[in-house]
Structures are given as structure tokens and as C-alpha cells.
Amino acid sequence: MSYSIPDYNEKKGMAESRSPSVNKRVYTWEEIGLMMHHLGDRLELTGHISDYIVGVTRGGLVPAVALSNRFKKPLVVIDPFEFKVEDLPSGHLLIVDDVFDTGKVLKEIEGKIIKERIYTLAALVSKPWAPKGSNIVTVCETTDWICFPWEV
């Protein structure tokens, strides 16, 4: 089965950037809907369907709710810097954020759960320097400064 993802890295609707060397990418709600559909497809195709969807505050909440609805799985919300492992249910967790960038949030979460839970990490967008792994699923990669519709 062949599967291709549209190029969400295309520079449509670019707003003025903060720096001459950094492009700003403003995603629309329509694009987010398509990206959510493709993220869900990738999770299904790679076998990363989990028992629980974990939304990372704040940016991960919109995609986490969408995935929770699509897969009909319970939603758990966490603050990556304040949650305790005991706050998370047992079972396979799908931890969702909007973008994987510096890796700070991922390291914080993984540092707490890596020995305690089975998990997959998912995001709409990642940066080239963000952590990679077989348990990380994203839709596209960009070096652009990203602005999601819920950040307005």
C-alpha cells in the first residue's frame, strides 16, 4: 500500500517573519484539519494506536482532542513539568503535542515515564533538530517559525 503526505512545508500564507533569516509559517484551521487526518493515518499505519491519548498543555490539547475523538480513546491532560507518573493511567499512552522543537518537553516527559509506561509521541510538526525515534510520529518537518491557529 502506497501512502503519501501532502507537502505542508510549502510556504503558503507566510506572514512577516521575526528575523530576515527565519520564515514564519502560519497554519490555517483547514490545514490543521488535514494534518490531523494524516497524523491519525500515520499512527494507524505504523501500529501506534494507544489505550489513552495524553494531551500536553497547551499546544497539544487541540490535536489530542481530535485524536481522542477519532480513535474513541480516553483523553488525559498533563502539564509536562508538573505531572507525576501516578497521574497517568496504565497501558499504552499516545502523548500528543503540536510541535517537537528543542526536545525540552519530550525529555521532561520521557524522563518521568520511560521506565514506567509504554508510549508513543506524536506531533503535527517537528524541527530537524528535534529528537527522532521509532516511537515518534509527526506529519512534517520545518525550520520555519510556526504559528498555529490556537495561538492567535
The pLDDT-based confidence of 12 (bands split at 50, 70, 90) is: very low
The pLDDT-based confidence of 16 (bands split at 50, 70, 90) is: very low
Which pLDDT tens digit goes with each residue over 84-136? 999 899 999 999 999 999 889 988 998 888 888 899 999 999 999 998 888 99
pLDDT reported for residue 6: 54
Strands 22-26 and 145-147: parallel
User: Is a pLDDT exceeding 60 seen at residue 7?
Assistant: no
User: Is a pLDDT exceeding 80 seen at residue 9?
Assistant: no
User: Is a pLDDT exceeding 80 seen at residue 10?
Assistant: no
User: Is a pLDDT exceeding 90 seen at residue 18?
Assistant: no
Give the residue-averaged pLDDT of 54-65.
95
Distance CA 128, CA 114 (A): 23
Give residue limits of the domains in the chain: 24-150
User: Is a pLDDT exceeding 80 seen at residue 13?
Assistant: no
Q: Which three cell numbers stand for residue 128?
A: 530537524
For 19, residues 6+ apart whose C-beta sits below 8 A from its C-beta are none
The fold for domain 24-150 equals Rossmann fold (3.40.50)
- At position 53, the amino acid (one-letter code) is I
- Of the segments 7-16, 27-36, 108-117, which one has the largest average pLDDT value? 27-36
Please give the model's pTM, rounded to 2 decimal places: 0.83
Burial of 104 (0-12, 13-18, 19+ CB in 10 A): exposed
pLDDT reported for residue 115: 84
